[in-house]
Structure 1
Amino acid sequence: MPSTFYIMVHTRFGLQVQVQLTPVMQVYITAVPNHKGKTTGLCGNFNNVQADDFKAESGMIEGTAAGFANTWKYKATCPDVSSSFENPCSLSVENEKYAGHWCSLLSDPNGVFRPCHSTVSPDTYIRTCMYDSCNCEKSEDCMCAAISSYVYACAARGVHLSGWRDTMCGKYSSNCPRTMVYSYNMTTCGRTCRCRTEPDYTCQVSFTPVDGCSCAEGTFMNEGVECVPPTSCPCYFKGSVVPNRQIIKKEGAICEPMVFFNCSSASPGAKGSECQKSCQTLDINCISTECVSGCVCPSGLVSDGNGGCIEEDLCPCVHNGITYQPGEKIQDYCNTCTCKDRKWDCTDNVCHGTCAIYGDGHYITFDGKRFTFNGGCEYTLTQDYCSNNNGTFRVITENIPCGTTGTTCSKAIKLFLGNNELILTDGNYQVIQRDNSVEVPYQIHVMGNYLVIEASNGLILMWDKKTSMFIKLSPTFKGQVCGLCGNYDGNENNDFTTRSQAVVVDAVEFGNSWKVSPTCPDVGILKDPCTFNPYR
């Protein structure tokens, strides 16, 4: 326990868990590289491919966070959570102003968080801070927790921020228990009676520095979380502490169609209702800390999640919160998946990558990274003229301000395809013959509201004749493209690769690097339209 704000769990197999207690509980899990591609659960599979982090045990990638989380429930009796797309800040102007004031300090170019801006972008943390502050009953606690998560992310990257509690969230640092002191940079668990009394390898564990209250120099923390002089430290035997536990027996339960399991008459080490398997938890090992009496399914059956029991072979598959019976099929991009033995058996077709550009400068790269950049120049969206000059296509968008609010709209889209230039503007298109480059055959047709261009080299461009566009590329272009749509290598972490091959964290710096004309002015700091128009 490095401070009163955190609890540390360190394992011998390369997993470290830091549990933040103040102001609200947050958990940070660190795994060594040996676990890459071997993990499952809500934290993803640790394979550096963010696009499949929502993969459930059934093998399908869920479309929503709620649907994904429901597949990893530990207890079958716990109800499913439902998706909510409502912005909590829209429910209270007062809460929105409060959250906007404090959360925006994360991106203040002259503020205390500035040293970390070039290392960790604050954009995602600002959005989380706004959502949590507006959604929580105790706004300040959740706001300060979100701020501290950014501070932790910076510390994990080697940027240590101090002094930020002088202007915000100061009540937690000024109310340390008696004899304790506050520090921004706690790096050891050694100031405890346990570490002083007998050898304990956990006292030497290294971890990401954290803040909080800890014992003053020359004092040590006892089991009562009090700082005492060395002479008042208790003795320890083999380092074990056995906490007191109270077992509540649920006698006389009505379990039809289940049966009642009584722990008081069971053999030592038996597992009770806490380890009742369901269709969703069959593949999860149960770690029981105590036997709990209660209702369980008869031998050979598992819980169906609705209070009944079912044979394991009849368990359905679940995707995005919808239940599918064995044999039913669903479509997942370009693959067909069949429900079989509770899991999805999918074809292994390699699908096209998709980059989406929509609205006021909103982007989703081929690898799934979302960002906003609304510059007023011509920009390269994607091209295969990256490491050599033997490319076949280039897509350029020309943006102009529209309206009076600074919003940008796409004035024209230029698709350079071999020796042809296709210009899409004002709902129409025109074709211009260029030099004697290699010819790339293509077709143009209309599908609903979209104008679709399909090229023989594996490029598909879909345009709604207004402000939305989708660019699809065949897998042969993986890792061979560059531009605002990213490099299509499966790793969104390096999508902000500039024209000069530098990987940056700031969307504005990344976007400016892909200007077609160097004389066009750079974009400055992006303005949040909701901040400037709070009543819209």
Structure 2
Amino acid sequence: MSYVKFQRMRKRDCYLKQQWFMKALCQDTVISLQDGKVRIDHSKSYCSSKESESKNSFSVVELNSYVLVEHASGFQVTWDKQATAMIKLNAYWKHKVNGMCGNNNGDIKDEFMGRDGSKKSNANDMGNSWRQDSTCLETKAQVSPCDKNPYCKTWAMSRCQIIKDDTFKDCHPKVDPMYYYDACIREACVCDMEGKYLGLCSCVANYAHACMARGVCVNWRNPDLCPTYCDYYNKRGENIWHYEPCGLANVKTCSNQDLVDTFSPFLEGCYPRCPPDAPYLDSNVRKCVQLSHCSCNHNGQTIAPNSKIQDQCNREW
């Protein structure tokens, strides 16, 4: 498999709110990730294609704080609904993709290929060549956030130090912490509070995920640093939802079980311990239910059990 991980591109100036938005183009289909929701839009030509005959070509599953998108041809997108997404491609896609995430040919030396097929000298030139919207301004060489906001640097260094300290000591020999530490400093030096904490927490979480991929589980979150409050999902008197720092295997769900089985042992977050009389997790409503009570999800809309919808190709499901 080939992995490509990327983060949102920060706007040039600081705003009270920052939005993360991504579009992935797949033949006649656009996958949009925005505001914590996944939307899949097909072109008119898709509806007359052979692929449209399969209702299972795309699968979208919510798993705790992540969204998983899978296509039958062999690519998967994992998104944390905020700042980080990961694309996983199988061997079929080797030499068959291009864009901001590279060409999946196994050669890291030619990752900066522009839209015109020429190799760019830096990330800015490469990114600018792939602009989809002419109204989007070209990115210029940017000032380091810590130089722009020097008053944030001390705070950033103090908070990001966790990546280099004893909390992750078992992982240091397997995953170099400096790349993640430097990225954490840059992200934590932004000027607004929301972006500061989002950048910090995303970078530390990315390092923890890289450690988990190398077999090292690190329970790094605490009430003072990027806390996760799973008890929010428990009704009064319940004790179903619990935080799992390194995922949880054997989670029964209403959705694509194979996809969940692939990722749940590696994704941190809130997981339920469903009772025997309601053993399936309905991630659309975050409840444990019987299989017959499972809902569905279509382009961010929850569909009640035994209901029918009409898709973009005017077919009834």
Report the TM-score when normalising by structure 1: 0.39
Preserved CA contact (<8 Å) 2:146 2:189:
yes
The match for 1:64 is 122
Matched, 1:80 2:137: yes
Aligned residue identity for 1:166: N
Give the 5 Å matches for 1:64-463: 64-73=122-131, 75-108=132-165, 111-135=166-190, 137=192, 138=194, 139-161=196-218, 163-166=219-222, 169-173=225-229, 176-178=232-234, 179-188=240-249, 190-194=251-255, 201-206=258-263, 209-218=266-275, 220-222=280-282, 224-230=284-290, 234-235=293-294, 241=298
Q: Matched residues, percent identical?
A: 21
SS in structure 1 at match of 2:146: helix
Query: Which whole-Å CA distance do the structure 2 matches of 1:241 and 1:189 have between them?
Result: 25
Note the C-alpha offset of 1:185: 2.0
Aligned residue identity for 2:78: Q
RMSD of equivalent CA atoms: 3.1
Query: Which whole-Å CA distance do the structure 1 matches of 2:294 and 2:229 have between them?
Result: 31
Query: Which whole-Å CA distance do the structure 2 matches of 1:44 and 1:61 have between them?
Result: 11
Preserved CA contact (<8 Å) 1:183 1:211:
yes
The match for 1:54 is 112
Query: Which whole-Å CA distance do the structure 2 matches of 1:172 and 1:190 have between them?
Result: 20
SS in structure 2 at match of 1:68: helix
Query: Which whole-Å CA distance do the structure 2 matches of 1:115 and 1:183 have between them?
Result: 19
Listed one character per residue, the Cα deviations across residues 354-401 of structure 1 (whole Å, up to 9, x for unaligned) are xxxxxxxxxxxxxxxxxxxxxxxxxxxxxxxxxxxxxxxxxxxxxxxx
Query: Which whole-Å CA distance do the structure 1 matches of 2:78 and 2:299 have between them?
Result: 21
Of stretches 53-62 and 26-35 in structure 1, the one that deviates more from structure 2 is 26-35
The match for 1:25 is 83
Note the C-alpha offset of 1:61: 1.3
Against the structure 1 CA distance between its residues 16 and 28, is the aligned structure 2 distance closer, same or farther, given a 3 Å change threshold? same
Listed one character per residue, the Cα deviations across residues 293-322 of structure 1 (whole Å, up to 9, x for unaligned) are xxxxxxxxxxxxxxxxxxxxxxxxxxxxxx
Note the C-alpha offset of 1:186: 1.7
Matched, 1:5 2:65: yes
Against the structure 1 CA distance between its residues 55 and 202, is the aligned structure 2 distance closer, same or farther, given a 3 Å change threshold? same
Preserved CA contact (<8 Å) 1:2 1:186:
no
SS in structure 2 at match of 1:185: coil
Preserved CA contact (<8 Å) 1:176 1:182:
no
Preserved CA contact (<8 Å) 2:284 2:297:
no
Preserved CA contact (<8 Å) 2:228 2:243:
no
Note the C-alpha offset of 1:120: 1.1
SS in structure 2 at match of 1:172: coil
Aligned residue identity for 1:10: E
SS in structure 2 at match of 1:186: coil
What number of residue pairs does the alignment pair up? 235
Aligned residue identity for 1:89: C
Listed one character per residue, the Cα deviations across residues 101-150 of structure 1 (whole Å, up to 9, x for unaligned) are 11122112xx1111111111111111110111112522122101110011
SS in structure 2 at match of 1:76: coil
Preserved CA contact (<8 Å) 2:230 2:270:
no
Against the structure 1 CA distance between its residues 136 and 175, is the aligned structure 2 distance closer, same or farther, given a 3 Å change threshold? farther
Listed one character per residue, the Cα deviations across residues 400-444 of structure 1 (whole Å, up to 9, x for unaligned) are xxxxxxxxxxxxxxxxxxxxxxxxxxxxxxxxxxxxxxxxxxxxx
Note the C-alpha offset of 1:92: 3.1
SS in structure 2 at match of 1:10: strand
- Structure 2: any 5+ residue segments left out of the alignment? 1-60, 235-239, 303-311
Query: Which whole-Å CA distance do the structure 2 matches of 1:76 and 1:32 have between them?
Result: 30
Listed one character per residue, the Cα deviations across residues 183-225 of structure 1 (whole Å, up to 9, x for unaligned) are 1122458433446xxxx54344356601111222325433543
SS in structure 2 at match of 1:130: helix
Against the structure 1 CA distance between its residues 135 and 175, is the aligned structure 2 distance closer, same or farther, given a 3 Å change threshold? farther
Note the C-alpha offset of 1:45: 1.7
Against the structure 1 CA distance between its residues 148 and 168, is the aligned structure 2 distance closer, same or farther, given a 3 Å change threshold? farther
Against the structure 1 CA distance between its residues 68 and 44, is the aligned structure 2 distance closer, same or farther, given a 3 Å change threshold? same
Report which of the two structures shows the higher radius of gyration computed on alpha carbons. 1
Bigger strand fraction: 1
Query: Which whole-Å CA distance do the structure 1 matches of 2:93 and 2:76 have between them?
Result: 12
Preserved CA contact (<8 Å) 1:54 1:61:
yes
Query: Which whole-Å CA distance do the structure 2 matches of 1:76 and 1:88 have between them?
Result: 26
Aligned residue identity for 2:290: P
Query: Which whole-Å CA distance do the structure 1 matches of 2:231 and 2:151 have between them?
Result: 28
Preserved CA contact (<8 Å) 1:186 1:212:
yes
Query: Which whole-Å CA distance do the structure 2 matches of 1:235 and 1:229 have between them?
Result: 7
Aligned residue identity for 2:103: N
Against the structure 1 CA distance between its residues 243 and 15, is the aligned structure 2 distance closer, same or farther, given a 3 Å change threshold? closer
Note the C-alpha offset of 1:175: 5.6
Against the structure 1 CA distance between its residues 97 and 119, is the aligned structure 2 distance closer, same or farther, given a 3 Å change threshold? same
SS in structure 2 at match of 1:221: strand
Preserved CA contact (<8 Å) 1:189 1:202:
no
Query: Which whole-Å CA distance do the structure 2 matches of 1:165 and 1:203 have between them?
Result: 23
Note the C-alpha offset of 1:79: 1.1
Q: Which has the higher contact order (CA 8 A, sep 6+)?
A: 2
Against the structure 1 CA distance between its residues 25 and 201, is the aligned structure 2 distance closer, same or farther, given a 3 Å change threshold? same
Query: Which whole-Å CA distance do the structure 2 matches of 1:225 and 1:77 have between them?
Result: 39
The match for 2:103 is 45
SS in structure 2 at match of 1:40: coil
Report the TM-score when normalising by structure 2: 0.64
Against the structure 1 CA distance between its residues 72 and 242, is the aligned structure 2 distance closer, same or farther, given a 3 Å change threshold? closer
- Structure 1: any 5+ residue segments left out of the alignment? 246-267, 270-536
Query: Which whole-Å CA distance do the structure 2 matches of 1:242 and 1:82 have between them?
Result: 31
